[in-house]
Amino acid sequence: MAIWQIRQAGFKMFTTRFRHADGFGDGPTESGGRPTLQGNGTFLRVNGLDSQSCVACHDVVSTDAVPVITGVGGSAGIGNSAMFMTRAIDVADFSGNGFAAFDGRLINPLALFGAGGVQLVAKEMTQRLQELKQRALAKPGIPVRLRVKGVDFGRIVADAQGNVDTAEVEGVDADLVVRPFGRKGEFATVRQFDVGALMFHLGMQPVELVGEGVDADGDGVANEVTVGELSALEVFVTTQERPVQRPMDRAARAGARRFRHLGCAGCHTPGMATRSRYLSYSYPEVDTDPSRNVFLRVDLSQLPSGFQTTTGGGIRVPMFSDLKRHDMGPELAEDFFAATPQQNREFITAKLWGVADSAPYLHDGRALTLNEAILLHGGEAQAARDTYMALSVAGRNELIAFLSTLRNPRSPNADVLD
Ligand code: HEC
Ligand code: HEC
């Protein structure tokens, strides 16, 4: 099968408005489904069952226009934010604390362009981290620094019994798998994310999770998403065009320098190079050894992805993220992880490519402009934020001018739209 045929099948998965006969939604609660609002049988909204298709929440290519420019694979506004695991919202402020307490997670959709490059960078980082872990195991008692593609993930030390002390690991899970997807950095691959997205938003259950012939959500439909359909969906999402950088004028070039000097680039790493330009897809996936069970390889320097190649034969992925989690301070913290409160403050560095086209900003979309997004940085980013604040208005505008050159592709997925 040619790649565009796989992409087309995945595009259909992404854009189809599923119906009950396809397995959309869950069955009654007593047979394994989620409750629905007033028992309507179809929607819940505050814990998924919140739309009929992927594209419903990934359809804005540019917010730099009125009305916004729509297209497949983009982000979405506040109205499409996911409300994850909500049990209570204090709408009337009964507790009198001055705000509507909320115990779920409010998460604004983000654009999916260039996702293949992100996945490839993360995969190579994981491979290197696993090598460093082997090095530590081979030399018990000697600390090994986890520096990968210029990003410092702390250090580990092994003992003679083969235990690895991960207490000083930073910004990545203790299993040393880089998980670039999800605003908290929880998913290693788009495939893993998609399994969750299908179930959470649409009540569509992948066979690879619930089993062949099993109707886990009790809606009378089994085999709602086959392994092949999920592979096509992953290939579609990860072979989309990458975001682009428009030509910079003088102000934008000055802003790019400020981006480095202010320390923004310390987390928003402008570009990362890969060793390979091929993204390989595996099934079943093995996080700690992503090179196993490969069924397809795609050259990400070819169209539609169109990444620039490096002299070393890899690609350059200008995503402006270190793929590391950071403490963003109490202001941005969520109120969800009761057992591990620190997790509430941590987010993976947002990718800034395409940022000029993807307002609103931050995990819950609370920042309506780029300026607001920067002002709301705290925690590890407090110093960079304060230095930005101390700039003259002209200086701040230069930085914004630079960010405004980071754009989404103009007409993404044209190859399958025809
Ligand atoms: C109700 C809106 C909504 C729908 C429907 C939806 N998404 Fe999303 N999508 C989101 C939100 C919100 C996020 C950020 C989630 C997070 O951080 O955990 C996201 C993130 C993603 C990501 C991770 C991107 C990244 O860089 O971190 C992928 C991949 C994705 N969605 C694919 C899909 C697919 C495939 C479907 C259809 C099965 C889908 N989405 C349906 C709202 C939605
Ligand atoms: C300590 C690491 C760190 C530093 C330093 C940092 N950021 Fe961020 N930035 C993040 C993280 C993490 C997020 C995501 C926060 C969230 O989702 O709530 C983010 C989000 C953003 C966003 C919103 C993007 C979006 O799509 O929602 C913008 C814009 C941004 N940063 C710009 C900057 C600029 C400009 C600077 C320098 C003044 C800077 N950042 C410094 C970590 C950092």
Amino acid code (one letter) for 128? R
pLDDT at 194 over 90: yes
Q: Residue with the nearest Cα to atom 4 of ligand 2? A: 381
For residue 186, the model assigns a pLDDT of 97
How close is the Cα of 332 to the center of ligand 2, in Å?
11
How close is the Cα of 266 to the center of ligand 2, in Å?
10
Q: Residue with the nearest Cα to atom 30 of ligand 2? A: 374
How close is the Cα of 347 to the center of ligand 1, in Å?
16
For residue 2, the model assigns a pLDDT of 87
185 closest CA partner among 210, 161, 153: 153
303 closest CA partner among 411, 164, 180: 411
C-alpha–C-alpha distance, residues 181 and 56, integer Å: 19
How close is the Cα of 247 to the center of ligand 1, in Å?
30
| Closest ligand relative to 54 C-alpha | 1
How close is the Cα of 239 to the center of ligand 1, in Å?
16
Give pLDDT tens digits for 370-398: 999 999 999 999 999 999 999 999 999 99
CB of 201 within 6 A of ligand 1: the answer is: yes
Mean pLDDT over each residue of the chain, to the nearest integer: 97
2 closest CA partner among 239, 339, 337, 343: 239
Residue 178: band (very low, low, confident or very high) from pLDDT cuts 50, 70, 90: very high
CB of 184 within 6 A of ligand 2: the answer is: no
C-alpha–C-alpha distance, residues 56 and 305, integer Å: 22
Q: What percent of the chain has pLDDT over 70?
A: 100
Q: Residue with the nearest Cα to atom 37 of ligand 1? A: 54
Cis, peptide link before residue 318, omega less than 30° from 0: no
pLDDT at 1 over 90: no
For residue 364, the model assigns a pLDDT of 98
What distance lies between CA 165 and its chain's CA centroid?
Answer: 28
For residue 292, the model assigns a pLDDT of 96
Q: Residue with the nearest Cα to atom 14 of ligand 1? A: 109
Residue 173: band (very low, low, confident or very high) from pLDDT cuts 50, 70, 90: very high
How close is the Cα of 350 to the center of ligand 2, in Å?
6
C-alpha–C-alpha distance, residues 25 and 217, integer Å: 8
CA distances from 248 to 164, 245, 252, 310 (A): 47, 8, 5, 22
Q: What is the CB-side half-sphere exposure of residue 350 using CA atoms within 13 A?
A: 24
For residue 418, the model assigns a pLDDT of 73
Residue 265: band (very low, low, confident or very high) from pLDDT cuts 50, 70, 90: very high
pLDDT at 248 over 80: yes
Q: Residue with the nearest Cα to atom 19 of ligand 1? A: 109
Give pLDDT tens digits for 71-119: 999 999 999 999 999 999 999 999 999 999 999 999 999 999 999 999 9
Mean pLDDT over 131-155 rounds to 98
Q: What percent of the chain has pLDDT over 90?
A: 99
CB of 181 within 6 A of ligand 1: the answer is: yes
For residues 3-17, one letter each, b for 16 or more C-beta atoms within 10 angstroms of the residue's C-beta and e for the rest, the string is beebbbbbbebbbbe
| Closest ligand relative to 362 C-alpha | 2
CA distances from 410 to 69, 173, 282 (A): 9, 35, 30
Please work out, in degrees rounded to the nearest 5, the angle formed at the alpha carbon of residue 18 by the alpha carbons of 16 and 20. Answer: 165
* Rg for the chain, CA atoms, rounded: 22
Mean pLDDT over 228-253 rounds to 98
Mean pLDDT over 301-323 rounds to 97
